[in-house]
Amino acid sequence: MGCGSALPTRSNLPSSQLLELRNKQFLIDCGEGMQIRMRQMPVRVSRMNHIFISHLHGDHCFGLIGLICTLGMLGRTADLYIHAQPDLERLLQPLINYHGDGMLYKVHFEPFNPKEHAVIYEDRSVCVSTLPLRHRVPCAGFLFEEKPRLPHILPEQISRYNIPHSSINLIKQGAGFTTEDGTYIPHEQLTTPATSPLRYAYCSDTAYNERIIPLIQGVDCLYHEATFGSEMSERARHTMHSTAAQAATIAQKAQVGQLIIGHFSARHADQGRLFEEARSIFPNTILAHDGMRHEIRHAITS
Amino acid sequence: MGCGSALPTRSNLPSSQLLELRNKQFLIDCGEGMQIRMRQMPVRVSRMNHIFISHLHGDHCFGLIGLICTLGMLGRTADLYIHAQPDLERLLQPLINYHGDGMLYKVHFEPFNPKEHAVIYEDRSVCVSTLPLRHRVPCAGFLFEEKPRLPHILPEQISRYNIPHSSINLIKQGAGFTTEDGTYIPHEQLTTPATSPLRYAYCSDTAYNERIIPLIQGVDCLYHEATFGSEMSERARHTMHSTAAQAATIAQKAQVGQLIIGHFSARHADQGRLFEEARSIFPNTILAHDGMRHEIRHAITS
């Protein structure tokens, strides 16, 4: 929803992404104007109950209070959970108390330790863990993973072998089936394998950091910040950001399926150069733009 | 810079205006995204040292922290003064302390009492006073007044009567001049009258409130909120906002030069109807739009 960095530009709001996974929505970072972009796109966030904030620089969290109040005015009743570092609660709760008068829902703060790689959210179908990043302030990326799906039962086999409804769950879990005449049909003949779980990694903001490579190995899609071009690598080092080439190198070494670069510095009016820089190292690179809708697909694995 | 109300829309950010007067800039309210609109227009705020916040609903102040941090990143060194109700300091100062690391300038809070009509800012050429409004929370509008200018001395009279540089200030203050041969030239023959001071009144948010009429009598330009159309007058009453017709009635009764209406509800996709409603009562009405630049001119007085 926004792929700029600290200073907004004519075309880029600060960081914000809405991830849809297994019919749920997860908001990742919430820079100023996120709710405005939400209206412009437009996109509804009625299935969004969890927000993940990577770090507490303003361009990743100043949109929270406006979003929270607007959801209140729109009559939201479902509790909202914000996963962030412990400091956020003492900064944001006083604003919610003051401005959130009449809100029908509750905001819960779920603190995490950005130095650890740990599971911070889990439900029946999705798991989210932290990715420790290297930035000027404590900062964590997030790895979103679908849980393995069950295999699909072939409908024609159900009728062919007269499989009762009560056996279907067992077969999905891996069992075979014995017909009335005593013939055993193995699991593999009754099912097609489940689609493999999707994995998406969000890494912003961070200096070049090879330690994340094993954690994001082979993900289907990696979003990695690419604040600067290589000609500003000294500034990238100093501000603990990455160049487009560094983002692509991480993608290449982690053998990810696809790379999306974003978090562009306002200095880079021509983001095409960042794109070329990354693509020369990791060809399957996408240049983010504000309002972009992108479908994450399974990486083609050899 | 923004003329929407609580819920932003595709075209309207929440309230924010930048007033330029006597080579100074005054920011009036600062809804979320003000700094983004600043980039989009674009407009520079290097002569902006004073911000006036009418009340502490989010759509009038959530843009402050982003703006403050951005000015810090851009290297601002001049102190910044925020005129608002006392509560703002305890809400905003913790955010500035946390997020404003490395800022080279200081933010001062200048609290005012929104129930009083009082001068809250004054310099050599401009005076700003509060206008008590009627809203769900304490709220004040602002009256910006140029101070009277001195009359212009006619250059041809300076050379004709050989007026020394040392006498010019006295003549500007109202004196005449006695020439070397003892002839007295009256003040009026040496000068043309100063242009009359401009006056601009900002009234948002407010229910219909005739008490402000004597305070804004005859201003050159009045900005008055017109959140709703008359068909929603019950909702306007309940939420303590004004209809377009009520805004125009205030303008008419106060005999202002020009009316600008804004703070439109997201329910009014067709703001043209609000415009027609106001214009039928007060013909010299302007419909605000985001990014509008408007020159305030002297009201034609009879």
Model ipTM value: 0.93
Quote the minimal CA–CA distance from B286 to chain A in Å. 25
Cis-peptide, bond into residue B138, ω within 30° of zero: no
Residues B288/B13, Cβ–Cβ less than 8 Å? no
| CA-only gyration radius of chain B, Å | 22
CB contact at 8 A, A5 and A14: yes
A95 contacts in B (CB within 8 Å)?
Answer: 91
Q: Contact at 8 Å (CB) between A15 and A51?
A: no
Residue holding tokens 């200073």? A7
CA distance, residue B78 to nearest chain A CA (Å): 19
Catalytic residue among B29, B59, B205, B220: B59
Please answer whether residues A219 and A143 qualify as being in contact, where contact means their C-beta atoms are separated by less than 8 angstroms. yes
Q: Which residues from B are below 8 Å from A9, CB to CB?
A: 39
Distance CA B55, CA B109 (A): 14
Pairing of strands A259-262, A16-21: unpaired
Give the one of B10, B32, B56 whose C-beta lies nearest to A32's C-beta.
B32
B184 reaches A (C-beta below 8 A) = no
Tell whether A124 lies on the interface with B, counting CB pairs under 8 A.
no
Its pTM stands at 0.93
> Quick check: is B59 catalytic?
yes
| Count of Cβ atoms closer than 10 Å to residue A186 Cβ | 10
How many helices (H) and strands (E) chain A has is answered by: 10, 16
| Contact residues, chain B, for A36 at CB < 8 Å | 8, 13, 32-33, 36
B74 touches chain A (CB under 8 A): yes
**What pLDDT is stored for residue B302 in this prediction?**
46
Contact with chain B for residue A138, Cβ under 8 A: no
Smallest CA–CA distance, residue A298 to chain B, in Å, is 34
What is the predicted pLDDT for the residue at B263?
97
Smallest CA–CA distance from B87 into chain A, residue: A98
Distance between start and end Cα atoms, chain A = 33
Residues of chain A with pLDDT under 70: 301-302
Question: SS3 for B249?
Answer: helix
- Domain ranges in chain B are 16-149+195-287, 152-192
Whats the size of chain B, residue-wise?
A: 302
Q: Do B66 and A9 touch (CB under 8 A)?
A: no
Q: Which residue of A has its CA nearest to B93?
A: A91
CATH superfamily of A16-149+195-287: Ribonuclease Z/Hydroxyacylglutathione hydrolase-like (3.60.15.10)
> Residue A50 and residue B133: Cα distance in Å, rounded?
39
According to the model, what pLDDT value does residue A101 have? 87
Low-confidence ranges of chain B (pLDDT < 70): 301-302
Contacts of B64 in chain A (CB under 8 A): none
* Dist CA B213 CA B132 (whole Å): 11
Beta-bridge partner residues of B51: B27, B82
B56 and A CB contact within 8 Å: yes
CA A107, CA A104: separation in Å to the nearest integer?
Answer: 10
Residue A287: its H or E element: strand A285-287
Question: B7–A58: do the CB atoms touch at under 8 Å?
Answer: no
B227's tokens:
């959140």
A94: contact with B, CB 8 A cutoff: yes
Cβ contact B56–A95 (<8 Å): no
Q: Is B283 at the interface with chain A, CB within 8 A? A: no
For residue A74, the chain B residues in CB contact (below 8 A) are: 7
Residue pairs between chains A and B whose CB atoms are closer than 8 Å = 74
Q: Which of A5, A30, A39 to mutate to test the interface with B (most CBs of B within 10 A)?
A: A39
Residue B58 contacts A where some CB pair is shorter than 8 Å? yes
Contact B281, B248 (CB under 8 A): yes
Task: Assess whether the previous peptide bond of B205 is cis (omega < 30° from 0).
Answer: yes
Residues for chain A: how many in total?
Answer: 302
> With contacts defined as CB-CB under 8 Å, which chain B residues touch A39?
8-10
- Give the other-Cβ count within 10 Å of B234's Cβ: 9
